[in-house]
Amino acid sequence: MNQLLGRIFAQRRNNGGTDLEAIESALRVALHQAGAGALSELLQFEAPPQDRRQLPCACGHQARYQELRSRPVLTVVGWAQMNRPWYFCDRCHEGQFPADEALDVKNTYFSPGVRRMQALVGQDAPFDHGREQMKILAGLEVTAKSVERTAEAIGANIAANEQRAIDRAVQLDLPVIVGKPIPILYVQMDGTGVPVVKKETEGRKGKTEGQPAHTREVKLGCVFTQTSWAKEGYAVRDPDSTTYTGAIETAEEFGKRIYLEAWNRGWSRAAKKAVIGDGAEWIWNNADLHFPGAIQIVDLYHARQHLWDLARKLHPNDLTTQKAWIKAHQKRLLDKGKIEKLVLSLRSAPSTNAEVLEKIRTEADYFERNAERMRYPKFRKQHLFVGSGVIEAGCKTVIGSRLKQSGMFWTVCGANSIIALRCSHLNGRFEEYWEARRAA
């Protein structure tokens, strides 16, 4: 360090210049080296005393102390060397390093601090981008693969913790979360495809309509609150109140997941509750099952889209007539919540084309089935949201921007790990996770 400072001052004497970037970088390297040296000293463990040279082994036998073994570990100040006792069980031939478990570096070359960085950059951007961030921001050289492995391992751990909480939640009566009453609490759900490697779609039938065969559906849910509304009466979301949860999983599994999230956000103390989604059947099945009594709302813009699809079928290549038809059906019926009239009108639409008739029938069924979820004037009078914009934006920011970049193909396990990690971070729970990990 003194040598380095000497060189810096010599440079200034010689040419009067100070290359700040070169100096700060050199200083960081020097400080890292000094830190890694100090850490290496701290990580020299001693052989256990004679009377403590046995440890219970998982097989039921005893593992015996053998020797001190040395190995490197990458810390936030660079590579350090640790030297710690090694125990060996001569019955099952399993070795043990108790110090590794105590330091949370079991089976990894990366310290908790480095893994936290890798997880953070790995949830945010492609893994090679993360490698670059580690180098520039932290002065640490790691491989893209190690960012991937660590981010996925941490994400898998978060996902496993969540799954345990979900399993507990369905077995027990959940404790009521105490807190301020919540005027309005929303649950929104949606699905979005993520590109996966070939083996993840093999032998799967009934892929989501309109999605290419190489994707699997992520079910994403969000929960947010509303305390007031704008002057004009429009719903306003409480800032920073949105949390997300999701995975590639069955509708049944996802139902339990979103239920727990809503519960943790205060479902039981919300004065008014609303579930918003598009027309997908799994959404309403879950709403009926887990959120009975909630106001159910079909996203108005999806409903309008259904009318537009039908308008194009009924009056192909005739935009003027399409618009007139939309005016009569959307503005006067759908937007006014007059769904019975809309269904009647659709069913009486004249056509001789079998395909068109089939489309009319499907759409009329859709509106009929969802009639109670389309009373938009009634919802608006209560200052409720009538669109699922929050979850649709979530599908883009939480899932799309990280998991749907070109050239990405995920395993279901890898995608679910990154989704869990990303939600944990976006929900502001990443710190909690590391604190719990440290306390464990």
Q: Kindly list the residues in this chain that would bind Zn ion in the complex (CB under 5 A).
A: 57, 59, 61, 89, 91-92, 94
Type and span of the H or E element at 328: none
**Residue with smaller CB distance to Zn ion, 77 or 89:** 89
Pairing of strands 182-195, 270-277: parallel
**What is the smallest separation between the CB atom of 69 and Zn ion, expressed in angstroms?**
18
CA 210 – CA 212 distance, rounded (Å): 7
Q: Report, in Å, the least distance between residue 71 CB and Zn ion.
A: 22
Tokens of 348: 């009486």
Residue of 206, 188, 204 whose CA lies nearest to 196: 204
Within 8 A by CB and 6+ apart from 290, the residues are: 255, 256, 258, 259, 262
Dmax of the chain from CA atoms? 94
Dist CA 93 CA 417 (whole Å) = 32
For residue 342 the two structure tokens come to 């809309």
Cα–Cα nearest to 298, from 372, 369, 384, 373 = 373
Least separation in angstroms between residue 219's CB and Zn ion is: 42
Min dist CB 64 to Zn ion, Å, is 10
| Neighbouring C-beta atoms of residue 105, cutoff 10 Å | 23
For the four alpha carbons of 342, 343, 344 and 346, in that order, the dihedral sign comes to: positive
Q: 89 vs 159, which CB is nearer to Zn ion?
A: 89
Q: Are 68 and 104 in contact (CB under 8 A)?
A: no
Cβ nearer to Zn ion, comparing 57 with 120 = 57
* Residue closer to Zn ion (CB basis): 89 or 297: 89
Q: Are strands 270-277 and 243-247 parallel, antiparallel or unpaired?
A: unpaired
Nearer to Zn ion, 61 or 272 (CB): 61
Q: How far is the CB of 440 from Zn ion (least distance, A)?
A: 23
What is the nearest approach in angstroms of Zn ion to the Cβ of residue 57? Answer: 3
Shortest Cβ 65–Zn ion spacing (Å):
14
Closest approach of Cβ 95 to Zn ion, in Å?
A: 10
> Closest CB to Zn ion among 94 and 238?
94
Cα gap 244→387, rounded to integer Å: 17
- Choice between 87 and 267, CB closer to Zn ion: 87
Read off the amino acid at residue 286: N
Q: Residue 29 or 92: which CB sits closer to Zn ion?
A: 92
Distances (CA, A) of 320 to 102, 307, 316, 329, 335: 73, 15, 10, 14, 20
With residue 174 as reference, give the H or E element that holds it: none
Radius of gyration of the chain (CA): 29
Report angle CA 83, 86, 90 to the nearest 5 degrees: 165
In the complex with Zn ion, the residue whose CB is nearer, 93 or 205, is 93
Strand partners, 84: 69
Ranges of beta strands (E only) in 130-181 are none
Distance between CA atoms of 122 and 414, rounded to whole angstroms? 12
Which contiguous run of DSSP H or E holds residue 218? strand 215-226
Nearer to Zn ion among residue 22 and residue 58 (C-beta): 58
10 Å Cβ neighbour count for 89? 20
User: Which of 89, 153 has the CB closer to Zn ion?
Assistant: 89
